Amino acid sequence: MLSAFPIDLKSDTVTKPSAAMRKIMSEAEVGDDVYGEDPTVVLLERAGAQLLGKEAALYVTSGTQGNLVSLLTHCVRGDGVLIGKDSHILNYEGGGLAVLGGMVPLQVDDAKSLPSIEELERVMPAKGNVHFATAKLLCIENTHNRGGGHASTPQEVASLVGWAHENGLSVHMDGARLFNATVALGVTPAEMAKDVDSVQICLSKGLGAPMGSLICASSDFIDRARYWRKKVGGGLRQVGVVASAGLYALENNVARLKDDHDNASLIKDVLQKGGLRVFEVARATNMVYFSAKSETDADKLLAACRAREVIFNKTSSDTFRLVTHLDVSRAQAQTAASVIVEEYRKLG
């Protein structure tokens, strides 16, 4: 029998391709994708565009590259980008928008989900004043990673996009975990992406592919994004080998995200009953943020759980994040939660 350990909850990026996924990969038809000749990539891009209700899609290496290429396509040097202060693009993507695109991040309080219209109006630079960068783009994130995996609704997105378009801004959605949001809310991916101008979705998070993301948008936008993908070194050759895993993931691993959400909810309940402080998240998905009593306790708890092969990460001196995914079963979720509570109690 396979051991239940290790139980790796540090991210949903740690999933490994299943036997069925590897079989599909070994049989994938391939060609040179820079020439547009990889039939599997063409199929994946069509499937992604259709699912997201957009005219076209572009296969890119990662979520970071998908966001960067999208932003480079929307903006020119010196343009202002309204962006959440807690967003992944701003905090965890090496400042690529500023380094490679010369864009000016205009930080808004995203309050662990979407910014309010009042907040956007507060930060939006006045037009026709040479002192200010001209704002051209609003970036939003759904689900929101630092927001504990909170899912925003299509109605909330529509209201922000309405404001952005009235003010001459385009909107890009970082939908690294868009399918977690749609499964949690019971809406289609197309409904979620309907109003935004571009969206980036990751195939390598909860969906379980080894790599890759799709940018979905209008045909004109994707034609221009293709140039940027090449410039940042993202033009790949016989990449159908991994694109096939992305197709498999879209076809087989979306609906099952509900299991991950149920497992996260189970862990949250066990931790709460065990006396740990768990952060409440409305419309939660596959993440649980919780904290120890002190920084020292946090280090001890992390180490004790790691010694028992229950792995999760710290996000600040005394706060942890764990993420459920398709390589963690219900029984493993239960076991991990019990181990955390046992070790927490030993700290006294």
- Residue 71 interacts with ligand PLP (CB under 6 A): yes or no: no
- Residue 174 interacts with ligand PLP (CB under 6 A): yes or no: yes
- End-to-end C-alpha distance for the chain, whole angstroms: 35
- Residue 151 interacts with ligand PLP (CB under 6 A): yes or no: no
- Which of 176, 178, 239, 323 is the binder for ligand PLP (CB under 6 A)? 176
Position 94: which residue type?
G
- Which of 17, 63, 80, 246 is the binder for ligand PLP (CB under 6 A)? 63
Q: Which stretch binds ligand PLP (CB under 6 A): 23-31, 59-67, 283-291, 292-300?
A: 59-67
Q: Dihedral of the CA atoms 65, 253, 237, 59 (nearest 10)?
A: -40
Q: In this chain, which residue has its C-beta nearest to ligand PLP?
A: 63
Q: In 3-state terms, what secondary structure has residue 92?
A: helix
The token duo for 110 is 């995203």
- Residue 202 interacts with ligand PLP (CB under 6 A): yes or no: yes
The token duo for 298 is 């946090």
- Residue 215 interacts with ligand PLP (CB under 6 A): yes or no: no
Binding mask 86-125 for ligand PLP (x = CB under 6 A): --x-------------------------------------
Residue identified by tokens 């920084």 is 295
- Residue 8 interacts with ligand PLP (CB under 6 A): yes or no: no
- Residue 165, Cβ density class (10 Å: 0-12 exposed, 13-18 middle, ≥19 buried): middle
- Residue 141 interacts with ligand PLP (CB under 6 A): yes or no: yes
- Is the CB of 145 or the CB of 291 nearer to ligand PLP? 145
- Which of 15, 40, 62, 244 is the binder for ligand PLP (CB under 6 A)? 62
For residues 62 and 74, give the distance between their C-alpha atoms in angstroms, rounded to a whole number. 18
- Is the CB of 17 or the CB of 343 nearer to ligand PLP? 17
90: left (phi over 0), alpha (psi -120 to 50) or beta: alpha
- Is the CB of 207 or the CB of 292 nearer to ligand PLP? 207
- Which of 204, 244, 285, 332 is the binder for ligand PLP (CB under 6 A)? 204
- Is the CB of 199 or the CB of 305 nearer to ligand PLP? 199
Residues 6+ apart with CB under 8 A from 295: 317, 318
The token duo for 144 is 């929101």
Could you tell me how many residues of this chain bind ligand PLP (CB under 6 A)?
11
Q: Cβ(214)–Cβ(200) under 8 Å? A: yes
- Residue 285 interacts with ligand PLP (CB under 6 A): yes or no: no
- Residue 286 interacts with ligand PLP (CB under 6 A): yes or no: no
Q: Which stretch binds ligand PLP (CB under 6 A): 22-30, 56-64, 225-233, 244-252?
A: 56-64
- The torsion angles phi and psi of 13, rounded to 5 degrees, stand at -85, -5
- Residue 170 interacts with ligand PLP (CB under 6 A): yes or no: no
DSSP bridge pairs for 150: 144
- The torsion angles phi and psi of 333, rounded to 5 degrees, stand at -60, -45
For 115-148, the DSSP string reads PPHHHHHHHSPPTT-TTSPPEEEEEEESSBTTTT
- Is the CB of 64 or the CB of 324 nearer to ligand PLP? 64
Taking the CB of residue 244, how many other CB atoms lie within 10 A of it?
25
- Which of 40, 145, 180, 324 is the binder for ligand PLP (CB under 6 A)? 145
- Is the CB of 13 or the CB of 238 nearer to ligand PLP? 13
Total residue count of the chain as it appears in this document: 348
**Which residues of the shown chain bind ligand PLP in the complex (CB under 6 A)?**
13, 62-64, 88, 141, 145, 174, 176, 202, 204
